[in-house]
Every structure is written in C-alpha cells, then in structure tokens.
Amino acid sequence: MVVVPLRSKKSRAAVGVPVIDLSLERSKLCESITKACQEFGFFQVENHGISSDIISRVEMEGLDFFSKPACHKQRAGPPSPFGYGCKNIGFNGDKGDLEYLLMEANPHSIAERSKSISTDPTKFSCAVNDYTEAVRKLACEILEMVAEGLWVPDKSIFSDLIKDVNSDSCFRINHYPPSLNDHISIDDDNNNWINNNIDNNPKPGQLFDNINNNHSTTKTRIGFGEHSDPQILTILRSNNVGGLQILSRDGLWIPIPPDSDKFCVFVGDAFQAMTNGRFVSVRHRAMANSVKPRTSMMYFAAPPLNACITPIPQLVSIENPCMYRPFTWGEFKTTAYSLRLADHRLDLFKKQHIV
Ligand SMILES: C=C1C[C@]23C[C@@]1(O)CC[C@H]2[C@@]12CC[C@H](O)[C@@](C)(C(=O)O1)[C@H]2[C@@H]3C(=O)O
Ligand SMILES: O=C(O)CCC(=O)C(=O)O
Ligand SMILES: [Fe+2]
C-alpha cells in the first residue's frame, strides 16, 4: 500500500490517503483494504485489471451525450430518480453545478433507458453493460477481500448481495461544466457557493478556500454537495480533472488527486451498518471550480430491495453491541430519498434513536 502524503494547513499533519496496488499478494491486500475501510472509509486502487477499452467506450458515450443540445438531453429526463438530470439532485431541493445520467445497473433497464439517451441505443447499452459488469466484478473481489480481512468465515457474505440478479445497484455519469473563479456559470442563485473558513462546514452563500480549508477570498463552487453514499460500496472513476474531496475523521476536507487510471472506492452507509460501525461511510463532495470539464462515473453496489441489512454476528459482542436495528435495503432507500443530500440517514436506524 502506498500512502500519498497530503499536508493540511490547519493540522499541519500529513494525511495519508491509501492507494492500493491490486497486483500485490492477496493476504496483504485483504489486510490493507480492510485497514483503509476502517481508517478512511475510502481508498484508491491501481492495477485493477479493467481494460482501457471498456472504460473509454463508456466515457465517450457519456461525453457524446453531454455535448448534445439541452433539448436532446431533456428527452432522457427529468430523473425519476433515473434518467437525465441537470442541477437538481434528488427530490428535496438539493442543487449542484452538474448534469448527470442515472440508471439502474441491469442490462434490461439499461437497454430500455438507452432508447431515450442515444441515437445508437445498442452501442450505448453495450458500453454501459460492459463497464458495469467489469466494475461489479471488481466490487465483488474487494468485498471478498474485506470479508477475509475481517476473518469472517463466509467470504461471500457481502459480495453475494451485489451478485444477486435482483441487486439494486445503479450507475451514474456526472458532468461538471467548467466554471471560472468569480464567475457563476449557471443559475445565478448563489446556492452552491460555500465558505469553510469558520468551522470547515460548508454553508450556502459563503466563500471557501478548498485547498487549505481556511479563510480566503477564492471562490469555489460546489458541484455535488457533501454526503455519504447510501449503498454498500461505490466505485468511482474520473477523468484527470480534480474536484473530489473526502472528509477526514478530524473534520478536514482532503482533495483526492484525480487519476483516470485509478478507481476510488467508498464505504457506503449499508456497509457501515453491516460492519456494526467498524467501517464508517465516508462523507465526500465534488467541487466544480476547474477551468476544464470534469466527468466521473460511479457504480453504486447495492443489495436487492428485500435484503435485510443487519450487523454481521462476527462483529457484534458484549463490548460492541449491535448498533443498528435490522432494516431492508428498500426501507433504507425510501428513507434516504425522503431526506436531503447532506443528512445523516443511518442515524435514524441506530438502536437508541428515538423518533
Ligand atoms: C438528495 C438525494 C440525492 C440522492 C437521493 C437523496 O435523497 C439522498 C441520497 C442521494 C444519493 C447519493 C449517492 C448517489 O449519487 C445517489 C444516486 C444515491 O443513491 O443516493 C444519490 C441520490 C440521487 O441523486 O438521486
Ligand atoms: O462526481 C463525483 O466526483 C462525486 C459524485 C458523487 O459523490 C455521487 O454521485 O454520489
Ligand atoms: Fe457520492
């Protein structure tokens, strides 16, 4: 495992975000992946084995779609939650400086959805299917190594959930248009300008220096606001344009160096519940302050709607009592979609939570 040192002005401490080389020996991988999930809820992987052809085909399809006139793109929207969306995120008033395509990650729905997205639906759906299938396999390998790293006897306890034909996994392509400092690119409503100079907690309408987490006159625009992903695991790949940041346990935003050859892996809320809080879903956001367009593709690995999410017995003990009540993925998803992006949804499922 290579640790990328990043210096934060506030703490003056080097923060190491793990980069894990998947070509290393398996027992080492199990250990370092599990450690990264515990300490950061996040890591990057290199030498992942997914071919550049599979990646570039879907990337080109995304770029081709986003380059089309708005009236063409709107034929694939509004998101329900699936389809084409622009600036509106979810159903509860969240906004971001981006446009996106969100779809269910199964071949049948991808084929149907492709008809409203592309003039060559077969080419589009083949590209998306090949990519989601490759990334699903990668997610399964990671989940199996995590089970091994946690010394859980059933190595496929997590991966079986996303291998299931009824898995509710989804796929998203985000496109952040370039936005120059001191220039608000779309909808001059100031909704997404932020400032972290007081408490490192972004608030609409304030300014923020996103590199140093401190007072500055540099304007930065939020592309996709702070949140954790509700699913088990997210696999993200971006172009070489920066913007992604993760929130460290000591409350600092850490910029993740963009690298189109690596994947970023995020622990989601459902994984936090299944590991009884041993792993914590990582809060993250994407800034849209680059002069270059940023594109990212996320595979959100989720269980079937009727799957029961409950801490695995191996991680529950007298010292670590069960933190969450059992819930189905469907129940959690309904709750997630009734809330705002930045809400801490999993807290509602804590055992001591009083409604
Ligand atoms: C505001 C929202 C957008 C979101 C659904 C939600 O109500 C809260 C969770 C959001 C999120 C974050 C991760 C993924 O991008 C996403 C697809 C998901 O499953 O949960 C989005 C949802 C969305 O954009 O529809
Ligand atoms: O686009 C990105 O870099 C992050 C987007 C994200 O976190 C999401 O879509 O859930
Ligand atoms: Fe996310």
* CATH number of the domain that residue 172 is part of: 2.60.120.330
Residue ranges with strand state E in 197-279: 222-227, 233-238, 244-247, 253-255, 263-267
Average pLDDT over residues 25-43: 97
171 within 8 A of 103, measured Cβ to Cβ: yes
Which range marks the domain in which residue 46 is found? 4-301
pLDDT of residue 233: 98
Identify the sign of the CA torsion 53, 56, 62, 63: negative
Angstrom CA distances, 100 to 14, 154, 168, 294, 350, stand at: 34, 37, 19, 12, 32
Find the length of the chain: 355
Does residue 174 register a pLDDT over 80? yes
For residue 334, tell me if it sits in a domain.
no
For residue 344, tell me if it sits in a domain.
no
Task: Mark whether 278 is an active-site residue.
Answer: no
Q: pLDDT band for position 344 (50/70/90)?
A: very high
Ligand 1 atom having least distance to the Cα of 102:
17
Does residue 209 register a pLDDT over 50? no
Element (H, E) at 297: strand 294-301
For residue 136, tell me if it sits in a domain.
yes
Average pLDDT over residues 42-60: 98
Average pLDDT over residues 169-174: 98
Does residue 12 register a pLDDT over 60? no
Ligand 2, atom 7, residue with closest C-alpha: 285
Q: How many domains does the chain have?
A: 1
Predicted confidence (pLDDT) per residue in 281-303, tens digit: 999 999 997 889 999 999 999 99
Please indicate whether residue 300, judged by its CB atom, sits closer than 6 Å to ligand 1.
Answer: yes
For residue 151, tell me if it sits in a domain.
yes
Does residue 214 register a pLDDT over 80? no
d(CA 150, CA 84): 39
Q: What's the gap in Å between 223 CA and the centre of ligand 1?
A: 14
d(CA 256, CA 58): 23
d(CA 255, CA 118): 34
Please indicate whether residue 81, judged by its CB atom, sits closer than 6 Å to ligand 1.
Answer: yes
- CA 310 vs. chain centroid, Å, equals 22
For residue 171, tell me if it sits in a domain.
yes
- CA 115 vs. chain centroid, Å, equals 26
Cis peptide before 178 (omega within 30 of 0): no
pTM of the model: 0.89
Average pLDDT over residues 19-46: 97
Ligand 1, atom 3, residue with closest C-alpha: 90
For residue 351, tell me if it sits in a domain.
no
Please indicate whether residue 93, judged by its CB atom, sits closer than 6 Å to ligand 1.
Answer: no
pLDDT of residue 278: 98
d(CA 155, CA 146): 8
Closest CA to 116 of 88, 89, 79, 90: 79
Please indicate whether residue 244, judged by its CB atom, sits closer than 6 Å to ligand 2.
Answer: yes
For residue 319, tell me if it sits in a domain.
no
Q: What is the DSSP string of 52-78?
A: HHHHHHHHHHHHHHHTS-HHHHGGG-S
Q: Which ligand is in closest contact with the Cα of 102?
A: 1
pLDDT of residue 102: 98
For residue 29, tell me if it sits in a domain.
yes
Ligand 1 atom having least distance to the Cα of 231:
19
Does residue 246 register a pLDDT over 50? yes
Q: pLDDT band for position 220 (50/70/90)?
A: confident
Average pLDDT over residues 231-242: 97
Structure tokens at 186: 């779309």
Predicted confidence (pLDDT) per residue in 97-114, tens digit: 999 999 999 999 999 999
Does residue 203 register a pLDDT over 50? no
